[in-house]
Amino acid sequence: MAATALTLAGTGVPAQAAPAPGGPGIGDTYYPDYGNSGYDVGHYDIRLRYTPATDKLTGTTTILATATQDLNRFNLDFVLDVSSIYVNNRPATFAREGDHELVVTPARTVSTGGAMTVVVQYSGVPSTKVAAGFTAWTKTADGALAIGEPEIAWWWFPSNDHPTDKATFDVSVAVPTGVEAISNGTMPRPPVQESLGYTRWSWRSLKPQATYLAFLTVGQYDIATDTTANGQTVYNAYSQLLTPELRDGARASVERTAEITDWESTIFGPWPFEARGGVVLPPGSISFALENQTRPNFAASFFRRGANTSVVVHENAHQWFGDSVSVADWQHIWLNEGFASYAEWLWSEKNDEGTAQDIFDYLYATYPDDASIWTTAPADPGTAELFGDAVYDRGAMTLHQLRVAVGDDAFFEILRTWTADHRYGNGTTAEFTALAEKISGQDLNALFQAWLYTPSKPVPASKSLTKP
């Protein structure tokens, strides 16, 4: 566009585009004001102090980012009370907008490609902050949990809160001595007594990590550490508030993490991260499990009937499908949940507890015709059904139909190529279906249209072929 490019009068030197504010969203279809535009984060250094008795969180987050435009203003997503912000060593002004936007005006414009060091000092009682209609921070009897999807980062660190802007993380938290503070990755140093009554715990995530997959679990935990055959740290934690029965079921499941992830890596490709493990939460706190990077957190209730290896298989399958390969837009959530659910089917098949076809047939026959699984399209579930049956079960059924259509060799090659091609990045449904067609050499349009895009009950290929 040389002919029409602006030049500085008389100099022939291209003029800079006028500096402009970054946007309050990153372009997500379902959550247009999640994430921000105008910069790209490379690293978060989150340094906190937390007191369970008062639920008071104070600290500093330092964000290392790069401007992607000439930037005279930008947004962070955050809800706690900010006392100061520095951008590139100079005090910045800031204001709150809407329920989670923090608008930052640096003293000097940052030019395209320029480094931005953003230092945010803050404090607050996270459980009192309501945004998107709720508080995602969970207070427990002996601590707190920063665990949620898609919303959680706002309650504990300022960020560009969208899975398309991944970064490495250092998380360090001082808590009263005797209480554990657990996060992702490995511990670059053991916990250190830092002042009278407080011990600082440090954690580091070495691979790109989505903001919602960063977690903080504080409370009294029994820790079990180990090393895998390939030398990786296994760090498991069990709430001391578990009953003996819950604790036994939890240990009989989570202590198998290395075995389960080794098996998963034979199907999905090499384990993507630097550590493994799991955290089992106090009863009555959170009712779901979350695939936090390197170390999923599990509700105690998953173990109320004893061992439950399916949930360990599911959350660890997400390390490939969700954590290493993350959604490019929240509407593609079946790429996480359908795949993690199908991993459970494969685990069942491996353990002679029912084949994937058995599970498919059971679900197909059991869901009532008017159930949401049939009236919701997995590839466009909307926010109300983001974690609904269509995303989980129909997502897995779609993968099974794909496997039936292309055969095992092509199917498992598709899975491994997907995790390799998008490793530490993002993916879309269209990219997945195109890859499946490319590897199988088949036209799969009708299959994907029926199973992913149409809000009605599809006819399975296997069924229609064997019809009398």
Which residues form the interface with ligand ARG (CB under 6 A)? 148-149, 288-291, 314, 340, 387
Nearer to Zn ion, 236 or 316 (CB): 316
Min. distance of Cβ 318 from Zn ion in angstroms? Answer: 6
The rounded distance, in Å, linking the Cα atoms of 91 and 108 is: 10
Min. distance of Cβ 387 from ligand ARG in angstroms? Answer: 5
Min. distance of Cβ 389 from Zn ion in angstroms? Answer: 13
Nearer to ligand ARG, 148 or 338 (CB): 148
| CA proximity to 61, closest of 39, 78, 74 | 78
Candidates 170, 337, 385, 393: give the one binding Zn ion (CB under 5 A): 337
Min. distance of Cβ 314 from ligand ARG in angstroms? Answer: 6
* Contact yes or no for 348/356 (Cβ under 8 A): yes
**Which of 45-53, 104-112, 155-163, 333-341 is the region at the interface with Zn ion (rule: CB under 5 A)?**
333-341
HSE toward the beta carbon, residue 81, CA cutoff 13 A: 8
Site string for Zn ion, 211-240 (x = CB under 5 A): ------------------------------
The rounded distance, in Å, linking the Cα atoms of 268 and 422 is: 12
Min. distance of Cβ 136 from ligand ARG in angstroms? Answer: 8
Min. distance of Cβ 333 from ligand ARG in angstroms? Answer: 8
Nearer to ligand ARG, 129 or 314 (CB): 314
Q: Residue with the closest Cβ to Zn ion?
A: 340
Min. distance of Cβ 279 from ligand ARG in angstroms? Answer: 14
The rounded distance, in Å, linking the Cα atoms of 262 and 265 is: 5
Q: Does 344 bind Zn ion (CB under 5 A)?
A: no
Min. distance of Cβ 382 from ligand ARG in angstroms? Answer: 15
Min. distance of Cβ 291 from ligand ARG in angstroms? Answer: 6
* Contact yes or no for 279/234 (Cβ under 8 A): no
The rounded distance, in Å, linking the Cα atoms of 81 and 124 is: 6
Please give the C-alpha separations between residue 106 and each of 42, 44, 113, in angstroms, as whole numbers. 19, 19, 16
* Contact yes or no for 316/257 (Cβ under 8 A): yes
Peptide bond into 460 cis (omega under 30): no
Nearer to Zn ion, 313 or 402 (CB): 313
Which among ligand ARG, Zn ion, none contacts residue 424 (Cβ within 5 to 8 A by kind)?
A: none
The rounded distance, in Å, linking the Cα atoms of 99 and 78 is: 9
Nearer to ligand ARG, 152 or 415 (CB): 152
The rounded distance, in Å, linking the Cα atoms of 264 and 249 is: 21
Nearer to ligand ARG, 49 or 295 (CB): 295
Which among Zn ion, ligand ARG, none contacts residue 289 (Cβ within 5 to 8 A by kind)?
A: ligand ARG
Which among Zn ion, ligand ARG, none contacts residue 327 (Cβ within 5 to 8 A by kind)?
A: none
Q: Does 377 bind Zn ion (CB under 5 A)?
A: no
Nearer to Zn ion, 187 or 363 (CB): 363
Q: Does 393 bind Zn ion (CB under 5 A)?
A: no
Q: Which residues of 246-270 are buried (b: 16+ CB within 10 A; e: fewer)?
A: bbebbbebbbbbbebbebbbebbbe
Nearer to ligand ARG, 181 or 333 (CB): 333
And the tokens for 344?
Answer: 């459970």
φ/ψ of 2, rounded to 5, equals: -60, -40
| CA proximity to 121, closest of 59, 55, 63 | 59
Instruction: Count Cβ atoms below 10 Å from residue 123 Cβ, excluding itself.
Output: 14
Nearer to Zn ion, 337 or 393 (CB): 337
Candidates 214, 216, 275, 340: give the one binding Zn ion (CB under 5 A): 340
CB contact set of 140 (below 8 Å; sequence gap of 6+): 219, 241, 281, 282, 285
Q: Does 149 bind Zn ion (CB under 5 A)?
A: no
Q: Give the residues lining the site for Zn ion (CB under 5 A).
A: 337, 340
